[in-house]
Chain A
């Protein structure tokens, strides 16, 4: 609805340019596909793996898009929060013998509290300060969490020893069961968050503060409280992501750090504060990474991701899936 509105207002020349670039990119991809000797199975497997990995990126980025979009904080502790959630889940599985997915009921509220404490105790003091101060604060928090975990658990990678049935086969490609669960959960979580943002009172307040904190304050919304709640909701979303990746990712102090920058790329791609955009952006990045590995052999799979990221920043800084949804 908002998308069509923006499209109508956009000057035709810019639309033509965007369309031209899209056509060029697709042409290059098709040309590479026809010249490469790649079996269909390889492509199907790449698409499937890309979608599965992309769902995880989307899961992690959903919380970040709220924090980045509403609070305008470059939260470099986002990956560390993911690691924190994973260790918490691991402990519960390891000590209490819980089913990994059952730890959701503890990890999500716990991360909510951690997020609230971080925003209320540390970041609220730095609101309105230059971007770099907030960035470095969250960077400090990330080092704190990572090394606290290193101190407590050591560097040994941990895994929860749960086995699921045989992997699923799709057109000759394979996908493991926990990854499919994560994929489906990502869809559900995105829908849930979207509904909460659009239909609940808190969601409306969050969107209001995200659009104009001063205006929201004027109509009686306590912006600082909303900041705390937004960060807490963002952190608890990461908590849910942590539980969902627990069965198939190794838990070590640096596991989450690798996700931080990808999550930022996904957020920019999907549009700031746009939860469904984060999911679609995550899936897109997963696909780009996997297909990039097939199309550009010899280059790192992340290279294609950064190229797409820069092109997005330059040509469609509002994200490729429309503007802000908040």
Chain B
């Protein structure tokens, strides 16, 4: 297949009943390499606030957030091979559930995060089931996910009960609180929370890919009729992947609300967000474990770099000073360049080279 293979080194994955061990133990054993790499990275990243602070730390939080969103998208778009162009729906459901429970009921955002994940998973399962039931594929499937997200956006936009176009603002607390997930703006705690959430997402993905259901999901992506012939229910596993992806994306939405203190229908459900969620995975490498996180570093890094270039242009670009649109122009050129010259994503291309 022309697509990047889901598992980076398939040879050490026992196929079918090759393993005597069952369930979680076997999965853990198979994923020990990835989990060890993850542990090492988390330890290094946890030390970052000691060196970095202020503006740079905020950028780091955004990198981690979009890393999480990319990892979440990749479960559906990469491993299950169902290209979603409407992940904003799940993000928005997470953010709005948290917002409503926090502002109207006064519940902790942690509860909102959990409830939002469940709501998004149910919505995702429904969206997935309908789409698979009617056998939507490729561009049709992508456009359907887009329509699902747009319908939510339009509904919220016109709903007085959900504050319409105004959206939700997080009420400010006098003191910082872990329970209410609110800290002073320069606090490294946001960074730690986001690092924890991304780590959790990566653990889930690693375990998924190395588990039997995960192998089924990959098998269905590679050859659905063959998987069905072998007795695997394609719809069941694809819907599971969509629901899991939706729940993880919703968690990102909840965190977004708590970090930026504000959401409205355009921010939370808009098509622009749907694109921003899928970009990290595509730039990093679709269907790889580490690709989306690496893609988020590159994506946010490139975005910041082009903004910086425009704000303080070097001499040869000084004619661009103060013009709007230049940063996006540079961003678009970089995006086109990456897709043309590294069509499997930065990490995807690299991982492939290493294998050969």
Residues on A lying within 8 angstroms of B by beta carbon are 68, 72, 74, 122, 125-126, 128-133, 135-137, 139-141, 143-144, 146-148, 150-151, 155, 253, 261, 264-265, 268, 298-300, 302-303, 306-307, 309-310, 313-315, 317
Contacts and interface: CB of A to CB of B under 8 A. Distances in A.
A151 B335 CA distance: 19
A300 B154 contact: yes
A143 B343 contact: no
A137 B340 contact: yes
Nearest to A132: B83
Contacts of B278: 132
B328 interface: yes
B130 A147 contact: no
A136 B339 contact: yes
Nearest to B150: A306
Contacts of A307: 151
Nearest to B157: A300
B147 A140 contact: no
B140 A147 contact: no
Contacts of B343: 126, 129, 133
B275 interface: yes
Given A300-B157, A317-B135, 14 more contacts: A130-B3, A130-B286, A132-B142, A133-B282, A137-B340, A140-B339, A144-B336, A146-B325, A261-B271, A264-B143, A298-B158, A303-B158, A313-B140, A313-B144
Given A136-B335, A303-B154, A317 B329 contact: no
26 contacts: A72-B139, A126-B340, A130-B83, A130-B286, A132-B77, A132-B282, A135-B85, A136-B282, A140-B336, A143-B329, A147-B328, A147-B329, A148-B325, A150-B325, A261-B150, A264-B143, A298-B158, A299-B158, A302-B150, A302-B154, A309-B143, A313-B143, A313-B144, A314-B134, A317-B134, A317-B136
Given A136-B282, A306-B150, A131 B139 contact: yes
B262 interface: no
Nearest to A313: B144
Interface in B274-313: 275, 278-279, 282, 286
A124 to B, nearest CB: 11
Contact of A151 (B140, B146, B326, B333): B326
Given A131-B83, A131-B142, A140-B339, A306 B151 contact: yes
A313 B139 contact: no
Contacts of A133: 282, 339, 343
A131 B332 CA distance: 18
B138 A131 contact: yes
Contacts of B328: 143, 146-147
> Counting chain A CB atoms within 10 Å of each CB, which of B3, B140, B329 scores highest?
B329
Contacts of A317: 134-136, 140
A143 B331 contact: yes
Contacts of A261: 146, 150, 271
B221 to A, nearest CB: 12
Contacts of A143: 328-329, 331-332, 335
A74 B83 CA distance: 13
A129 to B, nearest CB: 5
Contacts of B144: 310, 313
> Counting chain B CB atoms within 10 Å of each CB, which of A130, A148, A268 scores highest?
A130
A141 B158 contact: no
A298 B140 CA distance: 29
B25 interface: no
B223 interface: no
B22 interface: no
- Report the 3 A-B pairs with minimum CB-CB distance, sorted nearest first: A147-B325, A143-B332, A150-B325
Contacts of A126: 339-340, 343
B340 A268 contact: no
A68 B158 contact: no
A128 B343 CA distance: 11
A298 B340 CA distance: 45
Contacts of A140: 332-333, 335-336, 339
Contacts of A139: 275, 335
Interface in B304-354: 323-326, 328-329, 331-333, 335-336, 339-340, 343
B46 to A, nearest CB: 33
Contacts of B178: none
A309 B328 CA distance: 31
B331 A74 contact: no
B326 A147 contact: yes
Contact of B329 (A129, A144, A264, A314): A144
Contacts of A148: 325, 329
B332 A147 contact: yes
A146 B326 CA distance: 11
A265 B139 CA distance: 12
B155 interface: yes
B323 A151 contact: yes
Given A125-B340, A137-B339, A151 B136 contact: no
B55 interface: no
B138 A313 contact: no
Contact of A310 (B147, B275, B325): B147
Contacts of A299: 154-155, 158
Contact of B2 (A130, A253, A298, A306): A130
A86 to B, nearest CB: 17
Nearest to B320: A151
Nearest to A130: B3
Given A130-B286, A303-B154, A307-B151, A122 B140 contact: no
Nearest to B335: A140
Contacts of A151: 323-326, 329
B142 A129 contact: no
Contacts of B134: 313-315, 317
